[in-house]
Amino acid sequence: MYLARTPAILKPLFSDLLWHMPREEQAVYLTFDDGPIPEVTPWVLDQLAEHGAKATFFCIGSNARSYPTILQRILVEGHAVGNHTWDHRQGWGCPDRAYFRSVLKARQWLKTDLFRPPYGKITRSQASALSSRFRVVMWDVLSADFDTRIDGARCTRNVLDNVRSGSIIVFHDSLKAEPRLRVALPEVLRALSVDGFAFRSLHSAKPGTHL
């Protein structure tokens, strides 16, 4: 089960995590999880370039090792990267020591202090320990492009119906999400550009402190 807009009640429970950026500026923060991969990530970068948009890519460490040229392109084009564990490790049910090993192994390839837990599933002890080394990034708008039961139009509505200034929006540059991403991302970029939103990467601003 998931919600396109993160319930406000969750944020105070994990107040040390980053759920959104400051609301004052008319800007949004696109994020892409699970890459980089050659089938999808270069296309995403092309779409962002067409709109002068910056974004943040939460990369799986093993993918970063396998496709260093794509990782380098992400950085050269002015985007941010974040750590998404080495092997897309889920925090719930995973011993802390094994979880931290996966994060630190990915850090060898991803020199960043941004971290997003795969599936958004992280325990309090894991979050507390990682917060001393990383800015742990969640989100407040979920496109749900990973959901094979819906189409790209639904993903587009998930974003446009819930976005606000300062929103951190989740997409996926993965094969599973690709059919819906290729529909939703161009439309979201176009619509939010028309509405006057800027597209920022997470390393370009400080985290928001208000719900």
The answer to whether the bond into 36 is cis (omega within 30° of 0) is yes
Query: Which pLDDT score is estimated for 5?
Result: 84
- pLDDT band per the 50, 70, 90 thresholds, residue 4: confident
Q: Catalytic residues, which ones? A: 33, 172
Which residues lie closer than 8 Å to 98 by C-beta, 6 or more apart? 89
pLDDT (tens digit, 9 = 90+) per residue, 159-203? 999 999 999 999 999 999 999 999 999 999 999 999 999 999 998
Query: Which pLDDT score is estimated for 182?
Result: 98
Task: Please check the confidence at residue 206 and state whether its pLDDT lies above 80.
Answer: no
DSSP 3-state of 202: helix
What is the pLDDT averaged over residues 110-137?
A: 93
Residues, the chain: 211
DSSP 3-state of 79: coil
Task: Please check the confidence at residue 207 and state whether its pLDDT lies above 50.
Answer: no
- What CA–CA distance (Å, rounded) separates 16 from 18? 7
Mean pLDDT of the chain: 92
Q: What pTM does this model have?
A: 0.93
Query: Which pLDDT score is estimated for 208?
Result: 43
Query: Which pLDDT score is estimated for 211?
Result: 25
- What CA–CA distance (Å, rounded) separates 117 from 94? 12
pLDDT (tens digit, 9 = 90+) per residue, 138-166? 999 999 999 999 999 999 999 999 999 99
136 or 3, which is more confident? 136
184 or 210, which is more confident? 184
DSSP code, position 70 = H
